């Protein structure tokens, strides 16, 4: 059977809810990883967690394993390599898909956020979540215990769908949640002002934080589908434009690629990491981008 992190996202999502599919995604992803050396130290014992392939044998509680006939690993209160917050855009524009065979952008982003949070926690990182649209909708502070991940998943089901994205406010709030130097992962379709986000990205960099931007797009946003004249509506701004795809497709595609290039160039120059994430791409692709940024941070 193919690794879940390499399957079609819509087909995988149809097999179970967010918590279940996120676990499958991370299990598949980790099966393809070589465990990185552990960094950081442990202070006070906090809890046990299930053993995962790649965990160092010295952290296995062999006495507990003998009693329960299953492998468990000791976790410690200060056993964290990194503090991170995932800032997830849940505005109205995210609740869209160009095809019934693909997940809406927000559904894809929710599963990706859950998978990133679980992957980081399994790497002994403290992870939190901040959801936003035209205001901050949910905040879950960073914690490192795996039981905390269920709080992150529960928050994904809370209300959203506002008519705008307060991305800059969300990034500033995420930085305060991280506290000391850490990582902020922004998952958004970036229908916001590039100047404002770049300005905050520079401030985050100056404060010692690492910003990772995952730009979520539906394939139909990148290339206009063939068809007759249609009305194209902005779900947040309310603007409507009538156009024939055949007449504007070339100019549209050129404009979109120019915008993507601007986001990439300016964010990288501000010290952030950037990746375009298509909703028909297996979850393992953006997950690898987030994990690679984490490894560079460490």
Q: What is the CATH number of the domain that holds 218?
A: 3.40.50.410
pTM over 0.95, yes/no:
no
In this structure, is residue 163 part of a structural domain?
Answer: yes
167-221 per-position pLDDT tens digit = 999 999 999 999 888 999 999 999 999 999 999 999 999 999 999 999 999 999 9
In this structure, is residue 40 part of a structural domain?
Answer: no
Instruction: Say how many domains are in the chain.
Output: 2
Q: Are residues 99 and 28 in the same domain?
A: yes
CA separation for the pair 283, 5 (Å, rounded): 5
Reply yes or no on whether the pLDDT at 41 is more than 50: no
Q: Are residues 257 and 270 in the same domain?
A: yes
In this structure, is residue 272 part of a structural domain?
Answer: yes
CA separation for the pair 240, 237 (Å, rounded): 9
Q: Are residues 125 and 58 in the same domain?
A: no
Please say whether the beta carbons of 90 and 70 come within 8 A: no
Nearest-Å Rg of the Cα atoms of the chain is: 20
Which residue, among 215, 181, 216, 212, has the nearest Cα to 291 in the 3D structure? 212
Per-residue confidence (pLDDT) for residue 77, from 0 to 100: 45
Q: Are residues 72 and 136 in the same domain?
A: no
Q: Are residues 204 and 256 in the same domain?
A: yes
Q: Are residues 202 and 246 in the same domain?
A: yes
Range of the domain at 139: 4-33+80-297
Number of H helices, E strands in the chain: 10, 10
In this structure, is residue 38 part of a structural domain?
Answer: no
Q: Are residues 65 and 92 in the same domain?
A: no
Reply yes or no on whether the pLDDT at 69 is more than 50: yes
Q: Are residues 177 and 290 in the same domain?
A: yes
Q: Are residues 213 and 174 in the same domain?
A: yes
Between the alpha carbon of residue 137 and those of residues 3, 172, 248, 297, the distances in Å are: 33, 15, 37, 28
């Amino acid at each position: 059977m193919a690794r879940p992190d390499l399957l079609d996202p819509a087909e995988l999502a149809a097999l179970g809810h967010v918590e279940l599919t996120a676990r499958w995604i991370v299990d598949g992803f980790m099966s393809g990883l070589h465990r990185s050396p552990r960094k950081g130290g442990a202070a006070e014992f906090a809890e046990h967690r299930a053993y995962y392939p790649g965990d160092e044998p010295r952290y296995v509680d062999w006495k507990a394993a003998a009693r329960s006939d299953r492998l468990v690993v000791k976790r410690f209160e200060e056993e964290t390599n990194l503090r991170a917050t995932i800032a997830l855009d849940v505005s109205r524009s995210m609740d869209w898909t160009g095809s019934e065979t693909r997940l809406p952008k927000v559904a894809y982003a929710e599963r990706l956020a859950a998978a990133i949070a679980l992957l980081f926690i399994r790497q002994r990182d403290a992870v939190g979540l901040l959801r936003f649209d035209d205001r901050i909708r949910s905040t879950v502070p960073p914690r490192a215990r795996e039981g905390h991940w269920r709080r992150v998943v529960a928050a994904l089901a809370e209300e959203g769908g506002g008519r705008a994205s307060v991305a800059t406010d969300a990034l500033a709030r995420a930085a305060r949640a991280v506290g000391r130097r850490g990582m902020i992962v922004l998952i958004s379709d970036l229908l916001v002002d590039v100047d404002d986000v770049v300005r905050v990205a520079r401030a985050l960099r100056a404060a010692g934080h690492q910003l990772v931007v995952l730009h979520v797009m539906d394939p139909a946003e990148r290339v206009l589908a063939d068809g007759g004249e249609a009305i194209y509506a902005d779900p947040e701004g309310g603007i409507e434009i009538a156009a024939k795809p055949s007449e504007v497709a070339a100019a549209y595609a050129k404009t979109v690629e120019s915008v993507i290039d601007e986001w990439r160039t300016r964010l990288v120059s501000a010290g952030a990491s950037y990746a375009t994430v298509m909703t028909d791409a297996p979850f393992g692709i953006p997950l690898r981008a987030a994990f690679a940024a984490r490894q560079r941070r460490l």
